[in-house]
Amino acid sequence: MYTTNASRGLPRHRSRYPAERYTRWALRGLVAALVLALLWLVLAFHLNGQPIFALLFLVLGAALGVVFTRRTLMSHRYIFPAVASMALFVIFPLLYTVGISFSNYSSSNLLSEERVRAQLLSRTYQEESATFGFQLYSSDEGVRLYLEREGAPSTTGEAEAELEEALEGVSRFVTGPMSLQDSERRHVAIQPAEGEPVGVPLAMREVIAYRTALQNLVLATPEGLELRMAGLRHYAPMLDRYEARDDGSLYDRRDDLLLTADGETGFFVTEVGERITPGWPVAVGLDNYARIFLDPDIRGPFIQIFVWTFAFAGLTVLFTLIVGFVLASLLQWDQLRGKALYRTLLILPYAVPAFISILIFKGMFNQHFGEINLILDALFGVRPNWFTDPWLARSMLLIVNTWLGYPYMLLLCMGLIQSIPRDLYEASAVDGGGPLTNLFQITLPLIIKPLTPLLIACFAFNFNNFVLIALLTGGNPDILGASTPAGTTDLLVSYTYRIAFQDAGQNFGLAAAIATLIFLLVAGLALLNLRLAKVRV
Amino acid sequence: MAMVQPRSLRWRKLAAHLALIGFLVLILFPLLLVISISFREGNFATGSLIPERFSLEHWSLALGIPWERADGTVVQPPFPVLLWLWNSVKVALVSSLLIVLLSTTSAYAFARMRFAGKGPILKSMLIFQMFPAVLSLVALYALFDRLGQFVGWLGINTHGALIVASLGAVALHIWTIKGYFESIDGSLEEAAMVDGASTWQAFRYILLPLSLPILMVVFILAFVMSIMEYPMASVLLVDEHKLTLAVGAQQYLADHNQRWGNFAAAAVLSGLPITVAFLICQRWIIGGLTAGGVKG
């Protein structure tokens, strides 16, 4: 092997060819533009309060800058794009997932603390202590809404006092003439009134007819106070529900409660410990892992799914290997004609896109009109419930997966059997060895060693065979009594996916904890594989 | 040719043929069935493999042409199958082109250059490649969700996000190309460099033209894998007109409304080109797949 000047860090001469010089400058410009774009992203993420993503792109931008300016790293320029995309889309998500597993990130703890605070502060409530009865007065110009205060002003709480101040003692308001045909949400100004406006008051029946339009009216006083409909006969003022205090707590003006931010759970809580949703994600340590192993409602289904995942992957490897090996041995037989045609037809299941063939099987196994049940019904008079009985559903998965996977094993075995020297079989035949002796004394011992790493890879693939489960059974039928969505045919991956994306709670933290456990398992398999395969670099 | 032949060879050959044909009938039954169903009338028609009541209704709907039944009712196509197929092909084309680009340059460096951290980088690439993307979907979703706030074409529900996310899966292709590069003698490039070619020129004008076949293989492999990709697309894509075929096709067999006949036509229509492409290129694809020991 030779080493180029550039990768030894020696200076590169100015090129004799103008075209090459321009290309070099264009490339430098491109790198500079990329670095600038990444830095812009860093700034954007930083200002948006997302330090992790800012850090990610900072590292990426810095690495890009360093690799493409230092001459000693010339060789690394060639691998940088691939390594960077792996870092961004494989390694970063992996680390991020592990990170999430130590938090309570979920659909109820999704936004940052500032966003939660802002959301709570924008909430309003209807102040019931000051209600206004209303009447609609119809005239030629349109309908006027006339409000008259009911009940005496109260001054018991802070919120009430503020309200009275905003009303300035006015107890009658009226709108300008308007049309109530349009029921879009809109703001309408109201003015203090001396008495009832001109026109005829509408009867209750007609008021009810305008109900949708009235519900969507927001009446605004000159002081900026907003009133909304509260029941069929009343309007009431809308007030900000929460008020920020200097010590970071929130004051609930409707219920007179003090809410403090709880850094342990990521919620605002009242003095009695009641949580206000939404919350924000906080670190919870090993809680998610503890739940997997200690909470009986999660541990039960988890162990069941864990065992089934291993059984599924192991049995799939076994079945596909047996079918593939037998077929490969047959196709290796010299006397057999038409091997090429057989081979092509036999690998057809591999050539059809999996997402299509899985769906074909989903239709064929359908209990009512699927062809498999029609045939079984005609032959034996049974119509098994392939999708609702756990054991039948599992058998169906294994049948379909064997169909999908045996061509791969067939190809592997054919390649390996071909590499066995033919003289061995000749010698065996001379010594009177039959096919079984050949199989157990020659073929199997010779192919098992190179086959093992490939079998492990196949096991790992089926261990995480998400597409099959998602398209065929969706994990159903469900395990009874589980607190998370868990099915009897779920593999660990599809279980994780359902916790994260299908559950009403969207418990990302718990899903990430299970994902982390699978990562560890897969990493173990990968290392084992690497060792067995003796990968030379 | 074996010299020593056992007796009763003819019977054993016949038995082998019968067993193989029997197995093939069993294995190919689902595929033949779907072709047959796509020509049957109605969505729940049952019957023999050769349709008794031949109808092109499902095919017409799959091609996006409204179908007028004998009684005068017009049936609209339930899903935009051709659009989904086009989306899939579009995403697969762009992403496999980029994958070939990325993995070729890296494979060149790994095959021909000596540099710090080469061995560990290669090994860790192989290990990381075994982690399924399904498990980091939450993180990937978060990443593209945030990116989408600043870069519109990389957000959730864009094909850009799907294409970019597929670039993480390059390790297998790097290994394939690297193996091929190593089988080519380096002296040609060396000669070029002695004559004043730069590293890049030696790579671009000497090695690349020699390795076109393997680049084609990697392109086809990446293309097939991208067409079949399901988990990432199912999370990143939302709107019906943005879906890829792999995500969209399952809507035909939704639990409450199964359109078996319509599905059959759409499946044959979209599956056939991919299957034929696979069979034509099977020699190279299989070489690539079995070498890496990973099924796509």
Strand partners, A228: A236
How much of chain A exceeds pLDDT 70, in percent?
94
In one-letter notation, the amino acid at residue B150 is F
- Decide if pLDDT at A462 tops 90: yes
Tell me the pLDDT band of A1, cut-offs 50, 70 and 90.
very low
pLDDT at B103: 92
Whether residue B295 and residue A454 make contact (CB cut-off 8 A), yes or no, is no
Higher per-residue confidence, A160 vs B179: B179
Whether residue A497 and residue B3 make contact (CB cut-off 8 A), yes or no, is no
Q: Which residues contact A382 (CB under 8 A, 6 or more apart)?
A: A376
In one-letter notation, the amino acid at residue A486 is A
- Decide if pLDDT at A347 tops 60: yes
Tell me the pLDDT band of B295, cut-offs 50, 70 and 90.
very low
Q: Which residues contact B7 (CB under 8 A, 6 or more apart)?
A: none
Q: How many CB pairs under 8 A join A and B?
A: 293
CA atoms within 13 A on the CB side of B94: 13
> What are the chain A neighbours of B102 within 8 Å (beta carbons)?
81-82, 85
pLDDT digits (tens, 9 = 90+) for B88-102: 999 999 999 999 999
Disruptive mutation site among B99, B136, B164 for chain A (greatest number of A CBs within 10 Å): B136
Whether residue B134 and residue A352 make contact (CB cut-off 8 A), yes or no, is no
Q: Does residue A101 sit at the B interface (CB-CB below 8 Å)?
A: no
Residue A298: count of CB within 10 angstroms of its CB: 20
Residue B234 to residue A222: CA distance in whole angstroms:
51
- Three-state SS at A81: helix
Q: Which residue has the tokens 């074996």?
A: B2
Name residues 216-245 of chain B within 8 A of A (Cβ): 224, 227-228, 230-231, 234-235, 245
B267 vs A359, A466, A525: nearest CB: A359
> What are the chain A neighbours of B105 within 8 Å (beta carbons)?
78-79, 81-82
Residue A324 to residue B120: CA distance in whole angstroms:
35
A530 vs B123, B140, B250: nearest CB: B123
> What are the chain B neighbours of A357 within 8 Å (beta carbons)?
30-31, 271
Q: What is the mean pLDDT of chain A?
A: 85
**Rounded alpha-carbon distances, angstroms, from residue B89 to A106, A192, A463, B244, B273:** 35, 66, 29, 9, 11
Tell me the pLDDT band of A504, cut-offs 50, 70 and 90.
low
Tell me the pLDDT band of B131, cut-offs 50, 70 and 90.
confident
With CA atoms as reference, the chain A residue closest to B261 would be A363
pLDDT digits (tens, 9 = 90+) for A231-269: 778 888 877 888 888 887 888 877 778 888 888 888 888
Read off the pLDDT of each residue in B204-229 and give the average, rounded to a whole number: 87
A93 vs B44, B140, B199: nearest CB: B140
**Rounded alpha-carbon distances, angstroms, from residue B25 to A376, A377, A380:** 17, 20, 20
Q: Exposed e or buried b for every residue in A354-371, given b needs 16+ CB within 10 A? A: bbbbbbbbbbbbbeeebb
Q: Does residue A375 sit at the B interface (CB-CB below 8 Å)?
A: no
Q: Does residue B150 sit at the A interface (CB-CB below 8 Å)?
A: yes
Read off the pLDDT of each residue in A416-427 and give the average, rounded to a whole number: 85
Read off the pLDDT of each residue in A36-45 and give the average, rounded to a whole number: 93
Q: Does residue A322 sit at the B interface (CB-CB below 8 Å)?
A: no
- Decide if pLDDT at B74 tops 80: yes
pLDDT at A537: 52
Strand partners, A259: A250
Read off the pLDDT of each residue in A186-203 and give the average, rounded to a whole number: 81
CA atoms within 13 A on the CB side of A358: 23
Tell me the pLDDT band of A333, cut-offs 50, 70 and 90.
confident
Whether residue B128 and residue A94 make contact (CB cut-off 8 A), yes or no, is yes
**Rounded alpha-carbon distances, angstroms, from residue A327 to A487, B1, B17:** 34, 20, 11
Q: Does residue A98 sit at the B interface (CB-CB below 8 Å)?
A: no
pLDDT at A404: 94
- Decide if pLDDT at A29 tops 60: yes
Predicted complex ipTM: 0.87
Higher per-residue confidence, A62 vs A144: A62
Name residues 152-181 of chain B within 8 A of A (Cβ): 164-165, 167-171, 174
* Min Cα–Cα distance to chain B from A274, Å: 29
B24 vs A97, A346, A422: nearest CB: A346
pLDDT at B280: 81
pLDDT digits (tens, 9 = 90+) for A52-107: 899 999 999 999 999 988 888 888 888 999 999 999 999 999 999 999 999 988 88
Residue A502 to residue B94: CA distance in whole angstroms:
31
Tell me the pLDDT band of B285, cut-offs 50, 70 and 90.
low
Q: Does residue A502 sit at the B interface (CB-CB below 8 Å)?
A: no
Read off the pLDDT of each residue in A195-220 and give the average, rounded to a whole number: 82
pLDDT at A129: 73
Read off the pLDDT of each residue in A350-359 and give the average, rounded to a whole number: 91
Residue A477 to residue A489: CA distance in whole angstroms:
7
Strand partners, A131: A150
- Decide if pLDDT at B207 tops 60: yes
How much of chain B exceeds pLDDT 90, in percent?
24
Residue A507 to residue A496: CA distance in whole angstroms:
10
Q: Does residue B128 sit at the A interface (CB-CB below 8 Å)?
A: yes
Q: Does residue B283 sit at the A interface (CB-CB below 8 Å)?
A: no
pLDDT at A395: 95
Most distant CA pair in chain B, distance? 80
Name residues 192-211 of chain A within 8 A of B (Cβ): none
In one-letter notation, the amino acid at residue A314 is G
Residue A168: count of CB within 10 angstroms of its CB: 11
A530 vs B4, B24, B126: nearest CB: B126
Among candidate residues A517, A472, A476, the one with its CA nearest the CA of residue A365 = A472
pLDDT at A162: 73
Read off the pLDDT of each residue in A480-502 and give the average, rounded to a whole number: 86
> 3-state DSSP: chain A helix, strand, coil percent, rounded to 5?
55, 15, 30
Residue A347 to residue A245: CA distance in whole angstroms:
70
Q: What is the dihedral of CA B4, B8, B14, B17, to 10 degrees?
A: -40
**Residue B241 is encoded by which pair of tokens?**
């007109």
Higher per-residue confidence, A311 vs A448: A311
Q: Does residue B197 sit at the A interface (CB-CB below 8 Å)?
A: no
Q: Does residue A10 sit at the B interface (CB-CB below 8 Å)?
A: no
Q: Does residue B127 sit at the A interface (CB-CB below 8 Å)?
A: yes
Crossing angle of helices B212-228 and B171-182, in 10° steps, is 160
Residue A439 to residue A413: CA distance in whole angstroms:
13
pLDDT at B292: 45
B230 vs A342, A467, A537: nearest CB: A467
Q: What's the burial of A77, exposed, middle or buried (CB within 10 Å: 0-12/13-18/19+)?
A: buried
Higher per-residue confidence, A503 vs B284: B284
